[in-house]
């Protein structure tokens, strides 16, 4: 297949292209998000795990995000690189990019697994696992098995955007869906029927990741738009560097999120201990568990947002490669409107039905303090959801346009400067509630800066002063 087979990216309606590419990407990311979320739902509803297991899941979650960060840096960077190369008619360059992505994902995943196995206790401590003895024990149990699946997880996640860039978004969606369904089927069997606890939840997740990784291997035997040969696997530093630079925004977005989660988890542990209720040993794990479930609901929303934006990467890259910048701006306008609508719908859900969302994560087995804090956390922590959605879409779109510096800078500003900064600063004045207000404060200030950056990019491209 030649690059001309994707020339429809220059001519088809933008709405039709968004549906074709973004919908499978949204489903893929939503299904990927379900891995950890499904675990937490089943864990929370198991009487012998409850909020202790929920807290342990929250502790381990950032460590899985680190693995995802490396994978998406490779995968998203390759996706953007391949799309740009195909758009400019350079098939050999596209093939080499895919080959390098395969090699880098395998090597990096094995190295990360080794680091996790060696420094497991120290890592669990860094992410707040010492809130109490039972939480620490369950965190170790869950993390060990999850670590064994890191190579499969990273390979599957890295290859998913590569497969989309090759022109097979539906296959990418189906492979992720197959893995998640495996996890959903096995979780209740391992946790409830067999009583394997945290190990069972982790084992179900890993087996699902194996299914997704195996599907990617099968697909790469005969891709559509590129031809993988031994030559494709040859190391080229310039190609690898360009791919990683294009994927750097995705990496930093995830890693900086880990830094923010580490700050939040530790502030929750510290200021929860000073709270009149949560300072009691039997309730100490509740704030950690609640913040975890709020983050998981946010992850569902942000998966839709990222999927919609990431699905546009091949369209943007191909049109940028062909010099169709006006078409790219029109696509950006459509995307922002869609992202804002998703954020508004999610905001109404978390503000109007927080108690119902909490019940999904095992509230019926917990004290009234659990539900009260969860309702407050949902309403405060997620009150700037529409702006958070628009911000994230802008970061990814700028990345797809090749504006890696602007995209990376905005992502770092949101997660490190504002995300970590407010998580550390606001609790000094507002205690545990200060942790909850850190996210909306970060999104508000980031939104203001993002508007300025996007307008500047629009002026540099079109000279009209308008982005759209």
| DSSP code for 176 | H
From CA 382, how far away is CA 387, in angstroms rounded? 10
Compute the distance between CA of residue 24 and CA of residue 317 in angstroms, rounded to an integer: 18
35 neighbors 209 (Cβ within 8 angstroms): yes
CB-based burial label for 122 (10 Å; 0-12, 13-18, 19+): exposed
Q: How many CB atoms lie within 10 A of CB 57?
A: 31
Give the model's pLDDT for residue 143: 96
What is the pLDDT at residue 1? 39
How high is the pLDDT of residue 231? 67
Do the Cβ atoms of 208 and 186 come closer than 8 Å? yes
As a three-state string, the secondary structure of 98-127 is: HHHHHHHHHHHHHHHHHHHHHCHHHHHHHC
- The pLDDT assigned to 466 comes to 38
Query: Which of 177, 175, 137, 166 is CA-nearest to residue 225?
Result: 166
Give me the residues of the chain with pLDDT under 70, please.
1-6, 32, 35-36, 87-90, 92-93, 225, 229-233, 249, 253, 363-365, 458-468
Q: Is 13 helix (H, G, I), strand (E, B) or coil?
A: coil
Q: Do 277 and 369 form a contact (C-beta atoms < 8 A)?
A: yes
* Cβ count within 10 A of residue 99: 23
Q: Where are the beta strands (DSSP E) in 16-170?
A: none
Residue 306 vs residues 62, 111, 116, 156, 373: alpha-carbon distances, Å: 18, 27, 27, 17, 28
Handedness of CA 407, 410, 412, 414 (dihedral sign): negative
In the chain, what is the straight-line distance between the N-terminal and C-terminal CA atoms, in Å?
Answer: 33
Structure token pair of residue 60: 């381990």
Residue 259 buriedness (CB in 10 A; 0-12 / 13-18 / 19+): middle
**What pLDDT does residue 74 have?**
92
Average confidence score pLDDT of the chain: 85
- Domain ranges across the chain: 28-452
Alpha helices by DSSP H, listed for 88-194, are 91-118, 120-126, 133-148, 150-165, 169-188
Q: What is the pLDDT of residue 199?
A: 95
């Amino acid at each position: 297949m030649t690059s001309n087979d994707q020339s429809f990216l220059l001519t088809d309606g933008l709405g039709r292209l968004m549906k074709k590419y973004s919908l499978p990407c949204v489903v893929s990311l939503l299904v990927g998000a379900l891995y950890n979320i499904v675990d937490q739902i089943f864990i929370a509803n198991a009487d012998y795990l409850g909020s202790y297991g929920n807290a342990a899941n929250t502790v381990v979650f950032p460590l899985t995000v680190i693995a995802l960060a490396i994978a998406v840096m490779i995968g998203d960077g390759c996706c953007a690189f391949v799309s740009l190369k195909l758009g400019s008619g350079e098939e050999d360059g596209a093939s080499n990019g895919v080959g390098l992505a395969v090699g880098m994902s395998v090597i990096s995943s094995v190295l990360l697994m080794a680091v996790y196995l060696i420094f497991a206790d120290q890592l669990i401590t860094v992410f707040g696992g010492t809130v109490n003895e039972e939480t620490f024990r369950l965190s170790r149990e869950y993390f060990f098995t999850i670590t064994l699946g890191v190579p499969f997880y990273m390979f599957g996640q890295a290859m998913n955007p590569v497969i989309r860039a090759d022109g097979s978004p539906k296959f990418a969606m189906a492979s992720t869906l197959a893995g998640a369904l495996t996890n959903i089927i096995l979780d209740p069997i391992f946790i409830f029927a067999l009583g394997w606890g945290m190990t069972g939840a982790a084992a179900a997740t890993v087996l699902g990741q194996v299914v997704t990784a195996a599907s990617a291997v099968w697909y790469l035997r005969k891709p559509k738009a590129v031809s993988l040969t031994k030559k494709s696997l040859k190391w080229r530093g310039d190609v690898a560097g360009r791919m990683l630079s294009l994927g750097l925004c995705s990496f930093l977005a995830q890693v900086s999120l880990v830094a923010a989660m580490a700050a939040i988890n530790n502030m929750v542990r510290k200021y929860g201990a000073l709270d009149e209720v949560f300072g009691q040993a039997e309730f100490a794990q509740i704030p950690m568990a609640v913040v975890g479930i709020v983050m998981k609901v946010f992850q569902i929303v942000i998966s839709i947002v990222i999927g919609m934006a990431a699905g546009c990467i091949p369209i943007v890259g191909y049109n940028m490669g062909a010099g169709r910048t006006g078409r790219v701006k029109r696509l950006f306008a459509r995307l922002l409107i869609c992202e804002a609508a998703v954020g508004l719908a999610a905001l109404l859900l978390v503000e109007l039905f927080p108690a119902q969302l909490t019940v999904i994560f095992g509230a019926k087995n917990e004290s009234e303090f659990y539900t009260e804090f969860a309702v407050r956390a949902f309403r405060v922590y997620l009150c700037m959801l529409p702006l958070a959605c628009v911000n994230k879409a802008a970061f990814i779109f700028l990345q797809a346009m090749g504006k890696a510096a602007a995209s990376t800078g905005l992502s770092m500003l949101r997660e490190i400067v504002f995300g970590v900064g407010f998580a550390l600063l606001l609790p000094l004045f507002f205690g545990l509630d200060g942790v909850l207000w850190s996210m909306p404060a970060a999104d508000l200030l980031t939104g203001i800066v993002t508007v300025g950056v996007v307008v500047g990019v629009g002026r540099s491209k079109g000279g009209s002063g308008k982005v759209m």
